[in-house]
Amino acid sequence: MHRAINLSRRQFALGAGLAAATGATGMIYAMETSVHAMDNGIHPPGMPWTHRSTFGALDIGSVRRGWEVYKQVCQACHHLRYFVNFRHFCDYRFPFMTEEEAKVEASEFLVDDIDDKGQPIRREAKLNDAVPPPYQFPGGRWLGEWGLPQNNNKAAAAANNGALPPELSLMISARTTHHHRGDDYIYCLLNGYFDPPAGIKLDEGKAYNPYFPGGLISMPQQLFDEGIEYKDGTPATQAQQAKDVTNFLTWCSIRSYNDTGKRWALELLLLLPLFGAILVYGKRNAWDVKSRRRRSRGATMVSISNREALQQHPLLLASTRYPAARL
């Protein structure tokens, strides 16, 4: 009886300790989560992007419309620094327009260059040229190291109340964290401008966006219903513009490995049964050869051992020669 009481006390103490540890862990997690949410704002929800599925790809039409949004709205302040040339628009890996259309798009931009005599000139952009930045250096110095377009950051900050507009070619990858994806963040940010709640004071040149860390952002709202006109006649709502420019920035950020990697994976999956059949056939053939060699080697060893035993024992040798002697 006394032993049973001690056992029940131990079980009760163990259960109480586990419950206390679980409650303390839950409280600490809730406190950490609440502090993180207040510091970083609202985490954007996941959106049903076509390129998220296993065999899905970027929406080509949306990417092209996103280029129109970038050209008419975003390009006034932001630039595409890392390896976004006009020839990539018609590249074989993931084009969203023809070569002739890409040439027309490039001709709408003027870039600084030097002529055959070394004098600075301005000419129309070509397919091999990078998308020029909005704030260029005077005198034709708009290409920096590795041929990357160099933005005049001082002029950009001076034109935007001291806030430097970020580079956008890798923005999707840069804003991808363990809490949310970069495309979800950009889409919700562009649609997330609201009036500030009570108690929040906006400084001059600031806007309220709960998806931006801290809630106060230097970029005012840029997308509005019917703010631009699409060439294909798609209604240019604010949500549609945000979706299209997000797809275009996704194309800028992951065009080199997203759809190409999926295509390679699909080709490998189609070839996997053939490789498996070859490996199985080779394995069986190799093991059959080895097993035959082992059986023949074992039979040879047995015959040799039997011969040695017969030579050492004359009676066994006689019994093998004269079966009647066994009796």
Name the helix (H) or strand (E) containing 113: strand 110-114
- Does the annotation place 90 within a ligand binding site? no
Closest CA to 248 of 44, 47, 45, 49: 49
SS3 110: strand
Check whether 43 is labelled as a binding-site residue.
no
The DSSP secondary-structure symbol of 97 reads: S
How crowded is residue 101: how many other Cβ atoms within 10 Å of its Cβ? 14
Tell me the pLDDT tens digit for each residue of 179-212.
788 899 999 999 999 999 888 888 888 999 999 9
- Tens digit of each residue's pLDDT (9 = 90 or more) over 266-314: 778 888 888 888 888 877 777 665 566 666 655 555 555 555 555 555 5
Entry pTM = 0.69
Residue scoring higher pLDDT (16 or 99): 99
How much is the pLDDT for 152?
84
Query: What was the pLDDT predicted at 35?
Result: 38
pLDDT of the residue at 192 = 93
Buried b or exposed e, range 201-226, using 16+ CB within 10 angstroms: eeeeebbbbbbbeebbbebeebbeee
What pLDDT is stored for residue 92 in this prediction?
73
Q: Does 78 belong to an annotated binding site?
A: yes
- What confidence tens digit (pLDDT) does each residue in 26-79 have? 554 444 444 344 445 688 988 889 888 777 788 899 999 999 999 999 999 998
| Residue 208: strand pairing partners | 216
Is 219 marked within a binding site?
yes
The residue among 5 and 235 whose pLDDT is bigger is 235
